[in-house]
Amino acid sequence: MITRVLLTGGTGFFGKALLRSCSLLKISSASRIYILSRSPEAFLAVNPEFRELPSITFIKGDIQQRDSLPWGHSFTHVLHAATDSTFGPSLTPLQRYDQIVDGTRNILDLAVATGARRFLLTSSGAIYGPQPVNLAAIPENWPGSPPLTEPSTAYAQGKRAAEHLCGLVGEQHGLKTVVARCFAFVGPDLPLNVHFAIGNFIRDALTADAITVSGDGTPFRTYLDQSDLAHWLLTLLEHGRPGQAYNVGSDEEISIAALAHQVRDILAPDKPVHILGQSDPSAARNRYVPEIRKAQQELGLNVRIPLAEAIRRSGEAYRQMGLPNV
């Protein structure tokens, strides 16, 4: 049973998905949730609704600053979701790598020192490297990897190293570590003004004259709703097999062009879709699609919210937030 859980990255997209989750609220009625944040007050000033959640305690600390971590506490579970995938591209490749690897090592050490029994790392589907054209969906045992010598793969390499650290620390200290290899998501807390295509499309549908696809629209992606994401992560934290990795995402694949049109049809039926790139019919289609049978078969996890419903929910939530010109 989860009784005292430390959540890192609690103020980012994953963290807010967990905080909004009915599953987390059920856990928190009998448990204590500790949220590690570099600036709790700044977060709560912008998100005051999280002040009222029962059994939630914010702790000021930085995963890269060991002295700032809550070494004097006691935890039963640790969910390590602190990686800046939203604004991380503004870091240098070396900074991104250090943030992931050093931060994970510090939180693993903290988990051992504070008596935690289970540890969940949020990793990424990026660890598989480019998806082969003849592979419809990537299983957890796919041996691919991103090129080691390219600085642009620092995020993926950092996640691979973090996964390995989980295995090493788990073997040496008996900590039950589980890895969630996360793909792409959608929900009310997804930033609309960064590099996430679906967020950009929702923003355009709500505020612009047209929905714009900056590329050629041919890549294939899948999107899991953030409430499903929270449910999957909490299930993995409590019930995932130690030493195992699980893909976390949807198996409902869609091209980026079709996604733009679907967002338009649901949120702004009268607006045009502009695709700026020119597709090359002879080029291989870029894919980023997880196989999720392992999570389905072992843990009973499924996609509960179809993509169309997730888009509708996200649009309604953003409208209620009072976005400009909405």
In a 13 Å sphere around the CA of 216, the CA atoms on its Cβ side amount to 10
In whole angstroms, what is the distance from residue 260 CA to residue 195 CA?
Answer: 15
The average pLDDT across 181-207 equals 94
Interacting residues of 300 by C-beta distance below 8 A, sequence separation 6+: none
Domain ranges of the chain: 4-185+223-248, 187-222+252-287+306-320
pLDDT given at position 32: 87
pLDDT given at position 282: 72
Token pair in block for residue 276: 């700026």
Q: CA triplet 100, 137, 248: central angle to 5 degrees?
A: 45
Token pair in block for residue 21: 């989750």
Token pair in block for residue 245: 């990795």
Tell me the backbone φ, ψ of residue 75, rounded to 5 degrees.
Answer: -125, 150
Confidence of residue 88 (pLDDT cuts 50, 70, 90): low
**Average pLDDT, rounded, for the chain:** 92
pLDDT given at position 262: 98
CATH, range 4-185+223-248: 3.40.50.720
Terminal CA-CA length for the chain: 43
- The residues pairing with 37 across neighbouring beta strands, listed in sequence order, are 60
CATH, range 187-222+252-287+306-320: 3.90.25.10
pLDDT given at position 325: 47
The average pLDDT across 310-325 equals 84
Q: Kindly report, residue by residue over 217-231, the tens digit of the pLDDT.
A: 999 999 999 999 999
